[in-house]
Chain A
């Protein structure tokens, strides 16, 4: 995984969840991040869409559960 994509994914999650940057790292996921709840997840997906001007498919929204998943979708 490219570092820049991971870094961008972290930025997206930090902005969407409105948490301190240090709270999110490459291994952060829905499982280990309290602010990343179901509502938080929608914010993360919306922030991704806003940044790339592209709509996510339902399958992607459901399957994405971590910073690494998100980074994998970055074009």
Chain B
């Protein structure tokens, strides 16, 4: 990975602020030429990321002073769009347009034809349209930094006139954090599960002592702090994060709150699991992890009790345990600023994300059913329907997400970006197969993915979400893969298993499906082959 840093002003301090990333600074004010010229340094194959941090006031030129159209801004947007489309293999990061608060038209700026506030909005509109069109463009909202920390703390007039550096040391730190966060979110490195305590966390007071109507949860004062916190949790849950309760309480007391306290904004069905008992939280969390089929390294733990936090840090160090705010009035702000972007930052939210809790809950209902049926009877009872799409452009984000996140039933664990997937979909030598699943308990959405190398008759990637493992849906996907290879005239199909720390569950997949072992490589990976003549 190598970053090229571009700007229209001096942003040299970002080079060290972005360490340990390897960042090469572009020449001063070379942003427009680097993005526009075909053989520029930005186009070189060694550059994986282009970071474009620009000063909007300067880019506006005379237009900022009411003198004409912002020609350079349009040139920049054109160049950015063309660069993103010429280089789908590169990630491009850019800030949103954000003008300083100097307004030459003073109060008239809002309504005047030359209003720069309106101009800023329309420039951002176009920038966002480009980002929607090109998934390799990552835009972060620079205005948020100014709103939160204040322009006076972030812009330095002295540095500007001394050396064309627009920002203060503090701003460079914030810019670096924004770029890192946006990149992590774009690479889909967010955690998946939030474990929550109840007493003095989701509501004020101890329900076991105060009863379901005595706890602080409602419209005024402290009670409203907790209600607003619940509101943010609900918003997070809608982005695909699973909420789980781990609380030391009598289950019946907690049930009562859910059933009788109308201020309880989060309902039972908003949680993937509710553990209210007197066992150590570590035990409850391990059990939930098994039930959900998710590794605890994707968990975050919020609890007001420092003893509980310490226990989790000690016994489950892979779980993220943020400190709890001292003052209840800061609960919501703390959560939205310091927890969500750090652990649950997302750049794109898919339809699957929105329905995630429902899917996991349905899965638990299936598990209960599984206890009373034999496998085939159980599968028949489920009424499974699978649907496979080939090379659909609409699946790119979800497909990339699956290669990044699926660890268990993943034969080769190759991680791909949206840009990689776009290449596979467009190439005649590759096929991307996406499997949708539904049964009588619900719609799981896209849960199986195969990427075929049709030049070699080889399965490059084969994975299924852990939510559907054990329901033979992978068989449907394999049948389709074989069919496509046969269609290309191959008389055999090649499969590959690359062992990882987590994909043991998939180790015997090819042998179970009639493949023969061909080569066992020194690095542990195994190549398999299966004849696929017409009789198959």
Interface residue ranges, A against B (CB under 8 Å) = 18, 38-39, 41-43, 45-47, 49-50, 55-58, 60-62
Contacts and interface: CB of A to CB of B under 8 A. Distances in A.
A47 B159 contact: no
Given A42-B13, A42-B159, A49-B169, 6 more contacts: A39-B12, A42-B10, A42-B12, A45-B159, A49-B156, A58-B158
Contacts, number: 47
Nearest to A46: B169
B158 A42 contact: no
Interface string B237-270: 0000000000000000000000000000000000
Interface stretch (B160-168, B302-310, B344-352, B452-460): B160-168
Contacts of B12: 39, 42-43
Nearest to B164: A42
Contacts of A56: 158-159
A38 B170 contact: no
18 contacts: A39-B163, A41-B163, A42-B10, A42-B13, A42-B162, A42-B163, A43-B16, A45-B159, A45-B162, A46-B168, A46-B172, A50-B170, A55-B158, A57-B158, A58-B161, A58-B162, A60-B158, A61-B163
B157 interface: yes
Contacts of A42: 10, 12-13, 159, 162-163, 165
Given A43-B13, A46-B13, A55 B168 contact: yes
Interface of B: 10, 12-13, 16, 156-159, 161-163, 165, 168-170, 172-173
A55 B159 CA distance: 9
A17 B13 CA distance: 11
A62 B159 CA distance: 10
A30 B165 CA distance: 19
Contacts of A18: 16
A55 B163 contact: no
Contacts of B158: 55-58, 60-61
The interface residues of chain B, by DSSP majority, are classed as: helix
Contacts of A61: 158-159, 162-163
Contact of A50 (B10, B163, B165, B169): B169
Contacts of A46: 13, 159, 165, 168-169, 172
B157 A58 contact: yes
B214 to A, nearest CB: 46
Nearest to A41: B163
B300 to A, nearest CB: 30
B462 to A, nearest CB: 47
Nearest to A62: B162
A26 B163 CA distance: 25
A41 B13 CA distance: 11
Nearest to B161: A58
A28 to B, nearest CB: 20
Contacts of B173: 50
A45 B381 CA distance: 71
A38 B163 contact: yes
- Which 5 residue pairs spanning A and B have beta carbons closest together? A50-B169, A58-B158, A42-B163, A61-B162, A46-B169
Nearest to A42: B163
Contacts of B172: 46
B162 A47 contact: no
Contacts of A38: 163
A54 to B, nearest CB: 10
A6 to B, nearest CB: 22
A50 B159 CA distance: 13
Nearest to A48: B169
Given A43-B12, A46-B169, A55 B156 contact: yes
